Amino acid sequence: MEILKPLQKNGYNTQTFQSSNLSKELSIELNRCGANEYTKVSFPVKYGIFSKLETCDYIFEFNLNHEIRHARSKKRTWLHPSEWLKRTMGNDWVYYSTGGYSGVFEALGEYYLPNLTYPTNSLLGGKPFEESGIDDIVKNWHQIIAQLPDTGMPDEFSRWIQSIRQQSPEGLQKKAQQLFDISGSRVTVMPPDARHVDYNIIPLNISDGCLYKCRFCKVKNKKEFSIRSKRDIDNQITRLKRLYSKDIVNFNAIFLGEHDALNAPCELILKTVQDAYDAFNFQSSYMTKTFLFMFGSVASFLNADKILFETLNRSPFQTFINLGLESYDQATLDLLGKPLTRKQVGQAFEKIQAINDTFPNIEITCNFVMDESLPDSHYEALMTLIRESVNRPKPKGCIYLSPLKFGSPSRQVLYDFYKLKALSRFPTFLYMIQRL
Ligand code: SF4
C-alpha cells in the first residue's frame, strides 16, 4: 500500500448574515469551520465545515448537502445548554447528554452520552425523547425552518434557506434507505471504537455475516459468512461517494463491514482501504487523521498474517479492530452459545497484546459480556486476563464490557462494571451498541 500523507485544505468561504428585524431575529453563518480533529473534552465541540442557522428559539446546523445534522433549543424547556441533538446518516436522532458529567467519561471514555430512540444495552441515561423540548425539534424542525423568511437578505443566504427546506424529513429518510441499499443492509452495530470519530463513519461491506452465530447475540443476521466481489465493492465505493457528495470532505473514517471483515483475504482488505482512501479523497479531508474500523473474530484474528498488520501500520489509517471474545471461562462460553474454547480466547488475547505492543498505528480492542446471570467463574477468568496477565497499566488495547440485556439498565451491572474497571490494567469501558 502506498503511504499518503494527509493534506489539509479548506477552500470554503465563511459568510454571515444577521437580520436587523428584531421581531424575526435570525442569523446565518454559511460554511463555518468547526474543529478539524476529534477531541475528548467536556464541552460541546462541532466538527467539520457546516452552516448554522440561529433564531430566537433554536440553533440548527446543516451539513454541506444542506441536510440537518445538529439542533438544539434555546427555550427554557431544553434540558441543558451544552446538550444537543444529532441526526445520523441512518436518519436517527441521537440526544447527547452530559449525564451531569458524573461517570459518563469513566463509563464510556467520552464526555457525552448518546441517548438513542431504539432499544440498546445502555446502562446509563434517562428518556430524553419524552421531553417536550426535544420532541418538539424532532417532530417540527422542518416546519420551523419552512416558516422562516427567505427574502430581505443577500441572494446566497436566501438560496441557502430554500436549499435546506428542500431536504425534508421524508427525503432524508429516503436517503438513509439509499445508504442501506448500497451495501444491502443497515449497519446494525458499529464497533465501539467508532466513538473516536463520534460515529461519523462511511460503511463499506467487504463481507457479510459472521462465523459463529452465537446464541446470545442480538445483532447477528442469518447470512452465512461470505466475501463480496471486487466489483461489488467498487460499485459500493462509487455509490457512497455520490451519496455523501459535497459533505464527504467532513469524513475521515471508514467502517469495513460486516461482522467479521477481518476474515476477508488480506489483499482484499488492503486494496479496499486504499481504493476508499483515494475515492473518498481522504488526503484532502477537512478532518485531520484517517481512521479504519472493523470487526474481527477469534478465528480470523488468529489466522491473520503479520503482513496485514505491517501494511496497515504503514498506511495513512489509524486502524481499530474490535474482537468479540465474550468470556475466558468455558462454562460461560458454552452458556452463551459461543463456539470457542477458553484456550482459543487466551491465544487471541495474547496475540492482541503482541500486535498492540508492536504497531503504534493499530489498536486491537476486545469485548467481554456482563450480566447478573453469569457465573462467578466468568469474572474470575476475566480478571486473569485484564489484571493478572500484565504487571502494569497498559495505555492501549481497550476492553469493552458489553451488558447482555437490551432495554434493562441495572444498577448492579453498572456497579459490577466500575469494580471491574478499577481492577483492570487496560483502558476499560462499557460497550453501548449503536446502529448507523
Ligand atoms: S457475537 Fe459476533 S460472531 Fe457471534 S453471532 Fe454476534 S456477530 Fe456473529
Q: What is the DSSP string of 328-361?
A: S-HHHHHHHT----HHHHHHHHHHHHHHHHH-TT
CATH of the domain at 344: 3.80.30.20
Q: Find all residues with CB under 8 Å of 427, minimum gap 6, and list them.
A: 109, 394, 395, 396, 397, 398, 399
Say which range, 13-27, 81-95, 146-160, 299-313, has the weakest mean pLDDT.
13-27
Distance CA 425, CA 387 (A): 5
Per residue in 46-75, pLDDT (tens digit) is: 999 999 999 999 999 999 999 999 999 999
Q: Which of 22 and 270 is assigned the larger pLDDT? A: 270
Per residue in 86-131, pLDDT (tens digit) is: 999 999 999 999 876 568 889 999 999 999 999 888 888 788 999 9
Residue 33, classified by CB atoms within 10 Å of its CB into exposed (0-12), middle (13-18) or buried (19+), is middle
Among all chains, which residue has been given the C-alpha cell 448554522?
52
Instruction: Kindly report the protein residue whose alpha carbon is nearest to atom 5 of ligand 1.
Output: 213
Mean pLDDT of 398-404: 96
Q: Quick one: what percent of the chain has pLDDT higher than 70?
A: 96
The C-alpha cell at 122 is: 445502555
Q: Find all residues with CB under 8 Å of 302, minimum gap 6, and list them.
A: 344, 347, 348, 351
Closest CA to 272 of 298, 243, 292: 292
Closest CA to 292 of 217, 219, 383, 363: 363
Between the CA of 17 and the centroid of ligand 1 the distance, in Å, is 51
Between the CA of 269 and the centroid of ligand 1 the distance, in Å, is 20
Among all chains, which residue has been given the C-alpha cell 496497515?
312
Instruction: Kindly report the protein residue whose alpha carbon is nearest to atom 7 of ligand 1.
Output: 220
Contact 312, 363 (CB under 8 A): no
Whether 336 maps to a domain, the answer reads: yes
Domain boundary among 140, 170, 200: 170
Whether 164 maps to a domain, the answer reads: yes
Closest CA to 271 of 312, 302, 219: 312
One DSSP character per residue, 100-152 reads GGSSHHHHHSSSSEEE-SS-----S---GGGSHHHHHHHHHHHHHHHTS--SS
- Examine the domain organization and report whether 374 and 325 are in the same domain: yes
- Examine the domain organization and report whether 356 and 403 are in the same domain: yes
The number of the ligand 1 atom at minimal distance from the alpha carbon of 219 is 6
Residue 20, classified by CB atoms within 10 Å of its CB into exposed (0-12), middle (13-18) or buried (19+), is exposed
Residue 331 has pLDDT above 80, yes or no: yes
Q: What 3-state class would DSSP assign to 367?
A: strand
Question: No. of H helices and E strands in the chain?
Answer: 12, 17
- Examine the domain organization and report whether 330 and 394 are in the same domain: yes
Mean pLDDT across the chain: 93
Closest CA to 368 of 357, 356, 384, 355: 384
What pTM was estimated for this model as a whole? 0.94
* Number of neighbours of residue 197 by Cβ within 10 angstroms: 21
pLDDT for 25: 82
Quickly state the pLDDT bin for 22 (edges 50, 70, 90): low
Distance CA 230, CA 236 (A): 10
Contact 370, 386 (CB under 8 A): no
Whether 7 maps to a domain, the answer reads: no
Q: H-helix or E-strand containing 17?
A: strand 15-18
Closest CA to 338 of 367, 313, 363: 367
pLDDT for 101: 56
- The DSSP symbol for 65 reads T
Mean pLDDT of 251-257: 97
Distance CA 1, CA 34 (A): 31
Whether 9 maps to a domain, the answer reads: no
Q: Which of 5 and 70 is assigned the larger pLDDT? A: 70
Between the CA of 228 and the centroid of ligand 1 the distance, in Å, is 19
Say which range, 127-141, 232-246, 287-301, 408-422, has the weakest mean pLDDT.
408-422
pLDDT for 4: 37
Contact 397, 426 (CB under 8 A): yes
Q: Which domain holds residue 73?
A: 15-170
Domain boundary among 170, 195, 216: 170
Mean pLDDT of 402-410: 87
Between the CA of 214 and the centroid of ligand 1 the distance, in Å, is 5
Whether 175 maps to a domain, the answer reads: yes
Mean pLDDT of 177-202: 96
Closest CA to 349 of 406, 393, 388: 388
Total domains present in the chain: 2
Say which range, 118-127, 150-159, 414-423, 424-433, has the weakest mean pLDDT.
118-127
Whether 262 maps to a domain, the answer reads: yes
Residue 376, classified by CB atoms within 10 Å of its CB into exposed (0-12), middle (13-18) or buried (19+), is exposed
Site to substitute for ligand 1 among 259, 294, 368, most atoms within 8 A of C-beta: 259
Contact 366, 385 (CB under 8 A): no
| Cis geometry, peptide bond prior to residue 310 (ω within 30 degrees of 0) | no
Residue 383 has pLDDT above 90, yes or no: yes
Whether 4 maps to a domain, the answer reads: no
Domain boundary among 170, 188, 203: 170
Per residue in 267-326, pLDDT (tens digit) is: 999 999 999 999 999 999 999 999 999 999 999 999 999 999 999 999 999 999 999 999
Which of left, alpha, beta for 407 (phi over 0: left; psi -120 to 50: alpha)?
left
Between the alpha carbon of residue 320 and those of residues 197, 232, 348, the distances in Å are 12, 24, 16
- Examine the domain organization and report whether 195 and 147 are in the same domain: no
pLDDT for 423: 96
Residue 9 has pLDDT above 80, yes or no: no
Residue 238 has pLDDT above 80, yes or no: yes
Ligand 1 binding pocket (C-beta < 6 A) is 210, 212-214, 217, 219-220, 259, 297, 324
Quickly state the pLDDT bin for 248 (edges 50, 70, 90): very high
- Examine the domain organization and report whether 153 and 227 are in the same domain: no
Quickly state the pLDDT bin for 345 (edges 50, 70, 90): very high
Between the CA of 220 and the centroid of ligand 1 the distance, in Å, is 6
Residue 10 has pLDDT above 70, yes or no: no
Say which range, 2-11, 117-126, 379-388, has the weakest mean pLDDT.
2-11
